[in-house]
Structure formats: structure tokens, C-alpha cells
């Protein structure tokens, strides 16, 4: 194996939890549900998958929405449960709830730019109040220590991970952040993330994930690898840094590791259309697959994957929700189905997407999948479709 790649294939440890790879599925509110996490895990290569952001108040009150979002099972391990909020005490109680409900890792959201979250001082608003961010983390670490688990309790939540250590061991805490709030701060070299990461390490946070954008950037512009590298430099090997943002291929992940020195890579949107990206990225990083592009997945496998997602959604939730999800997600799932014909033209799949988007019964969804697999529901590659495919 080339020396450059052997560094990239080290597995990642989050405190006492040694993951099977260094690749993580990002939380994506409304998308990275149990059914989708299962699909990614079935393809392979996922070191850790995370729930979408969870409201600790919702969990503690037992609201149906929060409990649905926190749904997990024995196959869905190791799993991170991500909490958002700004009250240290409530976050601590939320963390205890997460431990009692199967979390392998607890994560605090310090990166969400959405108004609904930042108006309540949570998410990336914490990047403007570092002492509060650190106080929350310190209080959560204390709570996690107070509900440390025995080795036998640990065995039930490890899945593909391994436990390093013995005796009673607390569930580890990680934090996910952006570079800082204001883009001008980043540009002038005054981003708070390097300083924050160091302070979080001081209070017992075992790793930080850095999405290389500012809050003001939301999802525009390009991920700033230099910003992630500054956090890596600041923590100086005390805790691992997980890089995140715009990874759409194994080559992107390799580049992120090479240019930032991060120890792990978290992938979000790239996985929504290619749940096999973790398998292919791990194969690339470990030198098994030379190509930096995601592997070719046969159409039949892709259709089987969409069907499996839909079946799992029906099983974990209900038909109504499964249909709602497949209607809105078909564009993501269908992206890789777009292919070049022998004459060099793109084959349109708009009829397929429309059939799934308009399906109102499980039978209509299955029929659309069967027809596409049989070579129907293709054609009409229009301008808007080209734009969607490029997005």
C-alpha cells in the first residue's frame, strides 16, 4: 500500500470507542433516519452514523416527533445521538436520556445555521458565545460520567465498533461545529473554531467535527479546507478532528484528509444519492480501490436499494410517512440512475421521478420501481433535469 494512503486508512477512535473505519454519516434533519442509516450500513464502510438533531426537551417529554427521530435498533450501531440546545442542565438530561436509549456516542450541535435553532441560542449561535458552548459540554461530560456503563452494557451498543478499556466507561461526547459565524472573521484569520476546539478538549470532549463553512455561508460557496486544517493544528493531536463538507467521492475524502490532517471524514449530502460512498471511500483510503470515483452500481441494485428503503420506512414508521419520504427523496436517489447512452446523449429519467413523486399508495411506488427496472419510464432529458443532475 502506498505510504500516503496507509495514513488515510487508520480507523478512528472516539475516546474509548474504536470505529471500524474513519468515515461517518452526517446528521441531515429529515433524511438520516433509521431506514436510511440502515441502507448505508448495509452497503458497508460506515464507522459511525448519527441521528438527526434531537430536542432534549422533546425527548424528555416523550413527544412522538422526537421519539421517531431517535429511533434506533441493534443493527444501527454504533450510533451517535445529536442534541441541540443552549441550557446546560437540559442538555445534560438529554444526554442521559440518549445513554439510556442506546447511544454509543453523544454529539452536541454547534453548527446548525437554521433560524428555528439559532433563535433559541442553539446550533451555531453557540459559536458566538464560547463560554456557554464550553459550559454545556462540560456539564454534559459530567452527566455522562455519572451514568457510565459497565462492559456488558457497552457490548449491546458497539455494533461494528470496539471498546478500548475496562471497568465502567462513560459514553463519549463529540461536538459538531462550523468555522465561525461571520465569514469576515474567517477571512481575517479570527475564526473561533480552533480556540473552541481546544477548550472543548480541555473539558473532556473526545473529538470535534468541523463543517468547513461559516454560519453566514449556510450551504453556499465551497468548503474551506484551510479552516479545518487550522482546527487540526490548534488541537495538536490531543483529540481527533473530523472534516466535513462537500465530500462527493472517495477522492474528495482523500483530499480532505491530505490537506487538513483530519483523522475522520463525515459525509452528508453525498450519501443521500450514493449510500455506497462509505464502502467505496474506505476501499480507496485503504488502498483496495485505486479509483477515486464512487464505484458503478448496477441499476438493478439501485432500484433494490430504493425499494429496501421504502420497505424499511413502512416497517419503522407507517405507509403514509414512507410515501411522503419517497416522494420527496426520489430526486436524490435517482441522481446516479442518470446515464449516458451509447450515442453520447443523456437518458432522461423524469417520467420515473414523476411517477414516484406522484405515487400515493405503496402499490404505485412499487409499480414505478418495477417499470423502471424493466426499462420503462425513461426519456425526456430536459434543461431543468440537467440542472438538477448537476446540483
Q: Does 26 bind ligand FMN (CB under 6 A)?
A: yes
- The residue from 27, 45, 122, 159 that contacts ligand FMN (CB under 6 A) is 27
- The residue from 80, 102, 270, 348 that contacts ligand FMN (CB under 6 A) is 270
Euclidean distance between CA atoms 116 and 287, whole angstroms: 43
Cβ 109 to ligand FMN shortest distance, Å: 5
Cβ 28 to ligand FMN shortest distance, Å: 4
Return the percent helix, strand and coil in the chain, to nearest 5.
50, 15, 40
Residues 231-260 that bind ligand FMN (CB under 6 A): 244-247
Q: Does 353 bind ligand FMN (CB under 6 A)?
A: no
Q: Does 267 bind ligand FMN (CB under 6 A)?
A: yes
- Say how many C-beta atoms besides its own lie within 10 A of residue 381's C-beta: 17
Backbone angles phi, psi at 105, to 5 degrees: -145, 145
Task: Kindly state the DSSP code that residue 351 receives in the 8-state scheme.
Answer: H
Cβ proximity of 105 and 14 under 8 Å: yes
- The residue from 38, 82, 93, 281 that contacts ligand FMN (CB under 6 A) is 82
Q: Does 66 bind ligand FMN (CB under 6 A)?
A: no
Q: Does 335 bind ligand FMN (CB under 6 A)?
A: no
Number of shown-chain residues binding ligand FMN (CB under 6 A): 21
Q: Does 269 bind ligand FMN (CB under 6 A)?
A: yes
Task: Kindly state the DSSP code that residue 84 receives in the 8-state scheme.
Answer: -
Task: Could you list the beta-strand ranges (E) of the chain.
Answer: 13-14, 17-18, 23-25, 48-50, 79-83, 105-110, 162-163, 173-178, 207-211, 241-244, 264-267, 339-340, 346-347
**Segment interacting with ligand FMN, rule: CB under 6 A, options 38-46, 106-114, 138-146, 318-326:** 106-114
In terms of CB distance, is 84 or 97 closer to ligand FMN? Answer: 84
Euclidean distance between CA atoms 388 and 385, whole angstroms: 5
Closest residue to ligand FMN in the complex (CB): 268
Euclidean distance between CA atoms 173 and 106, whole angstroms: 5
In terms of CB distance, is 300 or 390 closer to ligand FMN? Answer: 390
Lookup: cell for 70: 431517535
**What residues line the site for ligand FMN (CB under 6 A)?**
26-29, 52-53, 82, 109, 111-112, 176, 211, 219, 244-247, 267-270
Amino acid at each position: 500500500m502506498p505510504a500516503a494512503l496507509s495514513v488515510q486508512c487508520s480507523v478512528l477512535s472516539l475516546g474509548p470507542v474504536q470505529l471500524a473505519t474513519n468515515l461517518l454519516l452526517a446528521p441531515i434533519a429529515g433524511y438520516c433516519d433509521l431506514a436510511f442509516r440502515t441502507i448505508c450500513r448495509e452497503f458497508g464502510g460506515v464507522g459511525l452514523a448519527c441521528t438527526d438533531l434531537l430536542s432534549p426537551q422533546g425527548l424528555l417529554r416523550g413527544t412522538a416527533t422526537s421519539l421517531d427521530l431517535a429511533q434506533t435498533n441493534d443493527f444501527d450501531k454504533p450510533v451517535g445521538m445529536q442534541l441541540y440546545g443552549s441550557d446546560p442542565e437540559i442538555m445534560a438530561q438529554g444526554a442521559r436520556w440518549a445513554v439510556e436509549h442506546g447511544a454509543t456516542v453523544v454529539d452536541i450541535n454547534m453548527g446548525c445555521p437554521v433560524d428555528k435553532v439559532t433563535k433559541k441560542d442553539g446550533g451555531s449561535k453557540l459559536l458566538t458565545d464560547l463560554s456557554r458552548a464550553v459550559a454545556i459540554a462540560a456539564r454534559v461530560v459530567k452527566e455522562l460520567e455519572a451514568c457510565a456503563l459497565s462492559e456488558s452494557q457497552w457490548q449491546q451498543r458497539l455494533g461494528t465498533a470496539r471498546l478500548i478499556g475496562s471497568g465502567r466507561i462513560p459514553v463519549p461526547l463529540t461536538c459538531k461545529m462550523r468555522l465561525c459565524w461571520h465569514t469576515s472573521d474567517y477571512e481575517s484569520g479570527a475564526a473561533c473554531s480552533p480556540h473552541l476546539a481546544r477548550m472543548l478538549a480541555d473539558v473532556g470532549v473526545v473529538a470535534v467535527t468541523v463543517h468547513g463553512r461559516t454560519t453566514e455561508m449556510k450551504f453556499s460557496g465551497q468548503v474551506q479546507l484551510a479552516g479545518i486544517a487550522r482546527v487540526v493544528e490548534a488541537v495538536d493531536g490531543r483529540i481527533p478532528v473530523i472534516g466535513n463538507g462537500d465530500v462527493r467521492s472517495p477522492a474528495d475524502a482523500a483530499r480532505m484528509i491530505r490537506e487538513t490532517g483530519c483523522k475522520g471524514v463525515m459525509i452528508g449530502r453525498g450519501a443521500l444519492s450514493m449510500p455506497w460512498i462509505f464502502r467505496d471511500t474506505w476501499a480507496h483510503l485503504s488502498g483496495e480501490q485505486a479509483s477515486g470515483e464512487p464505484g458503478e452500481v448496477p441499476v438493478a441494485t439501485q432500484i433494490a436499494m430504493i425499494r429496501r428503503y421504502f420497505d424499511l420506512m413502512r416497517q419503522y414508521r407507517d405507509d403514509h410517512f414512507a410515501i411522503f419520504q419517497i416522494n420527496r427523496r426520489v430526486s436524490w436517489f435517482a441522481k446516479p440512475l442518470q446515464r449516458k447512452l451509447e450515442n453520447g446523449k443523456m437518458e432522461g429519467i423524469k417520467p420515473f421521478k414523476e411517477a414516484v413523486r406522484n405515487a400515493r399508495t405503496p402499490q404505485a411506488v412499487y409499480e414505478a420501481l418495477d417499470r423502471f427496472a424493466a426499462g420503462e419510464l425513461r426519456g425526456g432529458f430536459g434543461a431543468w433535469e440537467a440542472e438538477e443532475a448537476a446540483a
